Every structure is written in structure tokens, then in C-alpha cells.
């Protein structure tokens, strides 16, 4: 078996980082797969992000747990109660008079 020495300094450059982080995610996936198959170390920018929820979502979930007295999350307006049948009949009668 023939062994070849690989110089990975080009992959650890700022230009490579800008290229791979700015292109389609499939390029980053291909880079990771290639380096893993060759047994080469991944550069810092090619490391996968930790699995799970994003920190902002975790912060909001913790806030809602601490402030459970707040009934509805921000930006959510609860549904109004249905109008009584008398109110609906009065509105229809008024609408029919205006026609």
C-alpha cells in the first residue's frame, strides 16, 4: 500500500473557512465525509453543531416555566368567546335592515 502525505494547511485557512461556511450545506457535508473517510482531522469550522434545541428556544422555555402565571406566550391572542345567539340574531336583523 502506498502512503501519501497530505498537507491540510489549505483546509485550515481563513479563505477555506469563508468558502465552506458561505456555500450550500452540501459542500460542508461533502467536506466532512471526505475528511472522515480519509481519517483526517476536521477543521473547527467543519465541526457539527451540538444536537438539540437552539439556546434561544431553551431560554424561552425556561422563562415560560418560571412565569407560568402568564397565560399566553407573547404574540398570541386568545380566541374570543362565541357571541350569544341573541347577539347574532340582532346583528343579522340590523344587517338585513341596511340592505
pLDDT value for 8: 85
Mean pLDDT of the chain: 83
Q: Is the pLDDT of residue 71 over 70?
A: no
- Is the Cβ–Cβ distance between 42 and 17 less than 8 Å? no
- Give pLDDT tens digits for 5-47: 888 889 999 999 999 999 998 999 999 999 999 888 899 999 8
Long-range contact list for 49-58, CB < 8 A, 24+ apart? none
Domain residue ranges of the chain, discontinuous segments joined by +: 1-68
Amino acid at each position: 500500500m502506498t502512503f501519501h502525505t497530505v498537507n491540510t494547511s489549505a483546509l485550515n485557512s481563513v479563505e477555506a473557512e469563508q468558502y465552506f461556511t458561505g456555500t450550500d450545506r452540501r459542500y460542508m457535508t461533502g467536506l466532512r465525509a471526505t475528511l472522515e473517510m480519509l481519517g483526517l482531522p476536521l477543521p473547527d469550522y467543519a465541526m457539527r453543531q451540538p444536537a438539540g434545541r437552539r439556546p434561544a428556544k431553551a431560554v424561552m422555555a425556561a422563562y415560560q416555566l418560571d412565569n407560568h402565571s402568564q397565560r399566553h406566550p407573547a404574540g398570541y391572542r386568545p380566541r374570543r368567546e362565541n357571541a350569544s345567539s341573541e347577539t347574532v340574531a340582532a346583528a343579522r336583523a340590523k344587517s338585513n335592515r341596511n340592505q
